[in-house]
Structure 1
């Protein structure tokens, strides 16, 4: 059985939206130094190596494609290309050379529950705010990994804009990444 891992870049005030400022928000991802960015990339690569599949929404899938991940050189990009990708979308999506891509259409909860039964290992979710909230609301997420940036940006979509009920989690890991980032890992506790 698969394990759904939500992996997010997040500010201290919970903002996950538009980290590079391309949509007009505050640029926070690019405000870390080169050493911290290299340490972040090492963690992300290790996470990709440990993954069995990627799960994402249509917009996040498009974000990766529009930023050249299908042709980007390097071990991390190679690993992401090699992973099977499952995209939640009511419309067809283009793989654009980014490897095996399967569209999950229809009832998201049923499709993801079926995916968890079919895939062994970690199914990592990047970005995908709407999908993440659905996974959390329906207790489909097993673990939450928050790469926390030392900024309060004040505006932007938050990971938890409106809580949909009580969710218990247990801290299973906390470590500094580089000199400025913190990686917090939580496992959801089921009643």
Structure 2
């Protein structure tokens, strides 16, 4: 049985939008605000996280973001991302193009439930806020990991932005199972659903 683990970069005030500065909301890549040693520590964290996954699960927009970047890259992280099985939840994507990619069609929650039953290990969700909102609402997320950047954005899409996700999330009680600093500036938090 697979385990869905979501990983999000988030600012102190909850923004997740445009952490790379490529969408036009923010002109700065958040990583560029870190001291070199902190950026190196963050890169190590991301690589370790990716190496711990057996598959990737993404919404269409996030999939397209990664699929236009990683196939041409060469690094341990790119090698992990490129070789790993990838699943994209989409009703409109015809040809995913990125190696080892499968489009999940039909009812998304039914398909994700089947995926959890088929994959042995962690299924990682990166940068897919809308999909993550839905997965959380259906109790399909087993762990939530947050890399908290020491930034105040003052705007942008928030982690649980009700404007992009108009359906209110049912209250979910989580428990903190780990917190640690990454370098001197970042906080890495790991939450799991609280026992019922």
TM-score by length of 1: 0.93
Partner of 1:61: 63
Q: In 2 relative to 1, CA 23–128 (structure 1 residues): closer, same or farther, beyond 3 Å?
A: same
Asked whether 1:99 is paired with 2:99, we answer yes
Q: Deviation at 1:78?
A: 0.6
Quick check: 1:35 aligned with 2:37? yes
Q: Does 1:152 align with 2:152?
A: yes
Alpha-carbon separation, structure 1, partners of 2:22 and 2:46: 21
Once the two structures are TM-superposed, the CA of residue 36 in structure 1 deviates from its matched residue by 1.5
Partner of residue 121, structure 1:
121
Provide structure 2 residue ranges, at least 5 long, that are not aligned to the other structure.
163-167
Query: Which 5+ residue runs of structure 1 have no aligned equivalent?
Result: none
Aligned-pair RMSD on alpha carbons?
1.4
Q: Distance in 1 between matches of 2:94 and 2:46?
A: 24
Deviation at 1:14, TM superposition (A): 0.9
Compute the displacement of 1:74 (Å): 1.3
Partners of 2:129 and 2:160 within 8 A in 1:
no
Give the secondary structure class of the aligned counterpart of 1:70. helix
CA distance in 2 between counterparts of 1:151 and 1:177 reads 15
Alignment pair present for 1:74 and 2:79 = no
Task: Tell me if the contact between 2:91 and 2:105 (Cα under 8 Å) persists in the aligned partners.
Answer: yes
Write out per-residue CA displacement over residues 24-62 of structure 1, whole angstroms, 9 at most, x where no aligned residue: 223351322222121111111111111110000111111
Please identify, of 181-190 and 136-145, the stretch whose mean Cα deviation from structure 2 is larger.
181-190
| CA 1:105–1:41: 2 relative to 1, 3 Å | same
Mapped to 2, the partners of 1:177 and 1:123 lie a distance apart of 23
Match among 172, 190, 193 for residue 188 of structure 1: 193
Tell me the alpha carbon deviations over residues 139-160 of structure 1, each in whole angstroms, 9 at most, x when there is no partner. Answer: 1101000000011111111111
Answer whether contact 2:146 2:190 (CA < 8 A) is retained.
Answer: yes
Asked whether the 8 Å contact 1:87–1:104 carries over to 2, the reply is yes
